[in-house]
Every structure is written in structure tokens, then in C-alpha cells.
Amino acid sequence: VTKPAPPPDTIAAIATPAGRGGVGIVRVSGADLSAIVDGVVGRTLSPRVATLVEFRDRNGAAIDTGIALYFPAPNSYTGESVLELQGHGGPTVQRLTLARCLALGARIAEPGEFTKRAFLNGKLDLAQAEGVADLIEAATTTAARAAARSMTGEFSRDVESIVAGLTELRMYTEATLDFPEEDVAMLRAADAGGRLDAMRERLARLRARARAGAILREGLTVVLIGRPNVGKSSLLNRLVREDAAIVTSIPGTTRDTIERQVELAGIPLTIVDTAGLRESGDEVERQGMARTWAAVDRADVALVLADARDAKGALEPGDAALIARLPAALPRLVVHNKSDLASVDPHVEVRPANDATPRTHVWLSALTGDGIALLEHEVRALARVPDLADDTYMARARHLAALDLAAEHLDQAAGQIAHAAPPLELFAEELRLAQNALGEITGRLTADDLLGVIFSRFCIGK
Ligand SMILES: Nc1nc2c(ncn2[C@@H]2O[C@H](COP(=O)(O)OP(=O)(O)OP(=O)(O)O)[C@@H](O)[C@H]2O)c(=O)[nH]1
Ligand SMILES: [Mg+2]
């Protein structure tokens, strides 16, 4: 897919948030802004020099005074000529300035259209453009740092370097195909297998970092399940530090699932409290339990609550049955709650795991809060949240899918090159498909409809 020529019309938008503020910016981008500069400012502007001017209406009367900044193409955010009118941050005055630009030939920009033009003009690639949106949306400082790494092109550079390695490998392969008499000896000499393995290793590292970033972006859902009265709602309240759910000593208090958000070490967590599981004839309670299992299906981690007073911390048969019913791939641990009543100190125990017994057991008290830090630590470990310190990328689902697909093709290729008589055409094709998948991340090979979806999620004026 070749990049379409950018639309030549001029776009304008209020780039600062709605409402009152110190400064309000109207941004204009297009091939030729002379009519707008003339009409609004009434004088020529030196490139990239902040100039104090009056913004004028059609009769020459002042709408506002402010700073005009003019960036002639191609040295601007969009790669087109850009005019920024930094006036006072009031909704009405900004609308008047914008209306004046529209009267002079601009049209209102669509959401993300400035960044889309920047992409189409080669100012940034697609992963970087998405980094811009993610930085604006970032809810935690860790997320903001990860988005900044994508925006500045670190992620793209890593992807591109694997693409470059694959290009080289394809070159050798195509050469071998063109000179069949040289046979595969040439590929062997070039250590095609070794090069491919190195590439697969780099891709694996990249995927791990991207997956960590996706967790930052999407967050994790943690479900609390267990028999009635073991303290699920108390634990929810403790984890989110508010009285979100009703707690009583009556078994069967919680009827419906209750969700709250909380941040754990930079990761957005959704904690889901559920109706306790038991045999019950009560119609409301039965429907509540159906919702519990639906919540389990959506969860990334399950915390199974038990009572610390159960015989020597052994699991009740009911608890074991419940654990056996969890989806096989769902990471889980057991919380032995009410440690204060059992007179045990909060601690973590690791047991040999089987279908009915998870590995990790945490003793704590939801009532006093003792042991909560231990639990938070174990949840992180269980969700395999890598150290989000300094090297995650703010990857999106579409990036992960592309990385997964590329890895699949490289696995295929590795199988083929290992053959005594490698099927070279197929090998070359797998390399090409892997490259295509990676190319989608940076937008080298991205269909127009996908671009529409990506940029329409931006805010106006960006
Ligand atoms: N001493 C002590 N009491 C607790 C602890 N956790 C919960 N409780 C008490 O146990 C009772 C039940 O707590 P809930 O949090 O409502 O239990 P639940 O699992 O949500 O119960 P259902 O909603 O009925 O399934 C309440 O009286 C709580 O105060 C704890 O760690 N220590
Ligand atoms: Mg409850």
C-alpha cells in the first residue's frame, strides 16, 4: 500500500482543552496559509519567532491579542505550514479566533488529523503517532514514560532493526534461488540458520517488553472468589482503600459483582468482588453466582479466599472443588483470610501445586490490613508483570498481534532451514510474511481503513 497524497486543504482547530485557562491555542495547518496570516495577523511573520499581535476580525477590529507562531513547511509538526495563534484561554474568544480562520478558507480538523498529516508526511511513523495519543491518555507516570519511549521512536527502531535483519536474510535466500547450482551451500556459508535464530531472539525480547507495555495500557482484572463470609468484600475494600462493598457477618451479603479500579506499582488493576459460592435455593443468590463465574472468565488473575482457621490451613473440600473449576490457564493464589482470628502472622507459603491446590498461599487479615503488602507483591509476580522500570513500550493489541504473527512465521522459517534439503521458496516466503507483519506496526504497510480507525480516536486539535 503506498501512502496517499495528503489532502491539500487547510485545517484548523482549538488545540487546548475546552474551558477557561491561561492560554488558548488555535492551530492551523495547510499548504498555503498566506490568506489566513494576512487576514488574522495583517502582517508577515518571521518563521518560528514568537510575535505579539492582534488577532483581527473581518473589519480589522481586535478579537484578542496574543502570540502568533508561524512554521513554514516542511519544518513543522505536520510537515505542512503551521500557524499557532496563542490567545487567551476562554471558550468564546477561542471560538471567534477559530471562526475567523474558517472564514478565511480553513475547515475544522477531524480528531487526530494534525498527527495523521504528520504521519502521511513522514514526520513520524504509526507506532510513534500512537505513542502521542497514549502519552496524552496516560493515567500513571509509568504509562507516560512508556508512551514517550514509543513516541520518540525507540519501539519503531527496534522493530525496524529486526526488519532490516530479515531483509538481509531474504537477500541471501533470493540469491540462492537465482543461482540454484550454488545450492544451499551458500546459505550455509552465510549461516542463515544462525542469523535467523538471532533475529528470533531479538523478536522474543521485543515481544516481552511490548507485552509488559500492553499490561500498563490495558491493566489487569483480578477477581476475588470464595465461599460466603470468608471476607471477599472486606478484601476489596482494603485493596481499594474505600468502603466500596457492603460487609456484614451474614453469609450471602454480596449478590452482584462490584468492580473498583486501583493502581498497583504503576499498573491499573480492576478488582472484582463477587457473590460467595455455595449451594443455594435462593434465586437472587443463584443469579449472583452465575455472575461470579462470568467474572472469572474475564479475569487475568483469581484470588481464592479461604478462612485461615480451617484445619491447619488446609483447604476445605468446597474450596478445592472451586479451584478445580477455574479455567486451567488462569493464574491463581489462595488468600487465607482472617489471620488475626487464627493467631497466625501474615506470611507467604509455597506448596507443591496441583489441580486443586495453587502454589502460592498468602495469610493475611483484610480486617486489620496486615499482610496486604505481601498479597500485592504476589499478585504482581503471579501476573508475570515484569519490572516496568525502564524499558517497556506502550504497545497496543494491534502491535502484539503483529509481533505474534511475525514470531509464528519465523518459527516456521526456522523449521524449514533446519531441514537437510531446505524448501527455500517457502523459507523466503515465511521471511517475507514476517516482515509484512512487522511493517504494519510502523505503518509501512498499513491499509487506509486502519489509519482512519487509529486517528479517529485522537482528540481534536492533535
Ligand atoms: N476478624 C476478621 N474478620 C473479618 C476479616 N475479614 C472479614 N471479616 C469479617 O467477616 C465477615 C464477612 O466479611 P465479608 O467481607 O462480608 O465476606 P464476603 O466473603 O464478602 O461474604 P459474602 O458477600 O457473603 O460472600 C464480616 O463480619 C467481616 O467483618 C478478617 O480478616 N478478620
Ligand atoms: Mg461480600
The strand ranges marked E within 308-449 are 332-337, 347-350, 360-363
Q: Is the separation of the CB atoms in 314 and 345 below 8 Å?
A: no
Ligand 1 proximity of 280 Cβ (cutoff 6 Å): no
**How many Cα atoms are found within 13 Å in the side-chain-facing hemisphere of 335?**
33
344 in ligand 1 pocket by Cβ < 6 Å? no
pLDDT at 446: 63
* Cell 483469581 sits on residue: 302
* Mean predicted confidence (pLDDT) in 184-212: 85
The residue whose CA has the least distance to atom 2 of ligand 1 is 338
What whole-number percentage of the chain has pLDDT above 90? Answer: 66
pLDDT at 177 over 80: no
**Quick one: DSSP state of residue 367?**
T
Alpha helices, DSSP H, located in 16-153: 34-41, 91-103, 113-120, 126-137, 141-151
Q: Does residue 340 have its Cβ closer than 6 Å to ligand 1? A: yes
Return the ligand 1 atom nearest residue 337 CA. Answer: 31
3-state secondary structure of 115: helix
Written as one string, the DSSP assignment of 153-221 is THHHHHHHHHHHHHHHHHHHHHHHHH-GGGTTHHHHHTTHHHHHHHHHHHHHHHHHHHHHHHHHHH-EE
At residue 176, does pLDDT exceed 90? no
Please give the mean pLDDT across all residues of the chain: 89
Answer whether 227 contacts ligand 1 (Cβ < 6 A): no
Q: State yes or no: pLDDT of 6 exceeds 60.
A: no
Helices (H), 269-316: 283-298
Residue 274, ligand 1, Cβ within 6 A: no
Residues 35, 107: contact at Cβ < 8 Å?
no
Residue minimizing CA distance to atom 8 of ligand 1: 231
The region of weakest confidence among 25-34, 115-124, 196-205, 394-403 is 394-403
228 C-beta closer than 6 A to ligand 1: yes
Q: How far, in Å, CA of 155 to CA of 145, rounded?
A: 13
**Residue 388: pLDDT over 70:** no
Task: Give the model confidence (pLDDT) of 204-253 as tens digits.
Answer: 999 988 888 888 777 889 999 999 999 999 999 999 999 999 999 999 99
Ligand 1 pocket check for 365: Cβ under 6 Å: yes
Q: How many Å apart are CA 93 and CA 89, to the nearest integer?
A: 8
- More confidently predicted of 311 and 365: 365
Q: Is the CB of 366 under 6 A from ligand 1?
A: yes
Residue 2: the pLDDT is 60
Atom of ligand 1 nearest to the CA of 365: 31
Cα pseudo-dihedral 173, 179, 184, 188, rounded to 10: -60
Across residues 369-395, what is the average pLDDT?
81
- Each residue of 75-124: pLDDT tens digit? 999 999 999 999 999 999 999 999 999 999 999 999 999 999 999 999 99
What confidence tier does 192 reach under pLDDT thresholds 50, 70, 90? confident
Least distant ligand from the CA of 227: 1
356 Cα: distance to centroid of ligand 1 (angstroms): 24
Q: How much distance in Å is there from the Cα of 354 to the middle of ligand 2?
A: 28
Instruction: Give the ligand 1 atom nearest the CA of 228.
Output: 25
Question: Cα 179 to the chain's mean position, in Å?
Answer: 46
Q: Does this model's pTM top 0.85?
A: no
Report CA dihedral (41, 42, 47, 51) to the nearest 10 degrees.
-50
Cross-strand pairs, 68: 51, 85
pLDDT band at 183 (very low <50, low <70, confident <90, very high): low
DSSP for 338-349 reads -HHHHT---EEE
Q: Say if residue 412's pLDDT is above 90.
A: yes
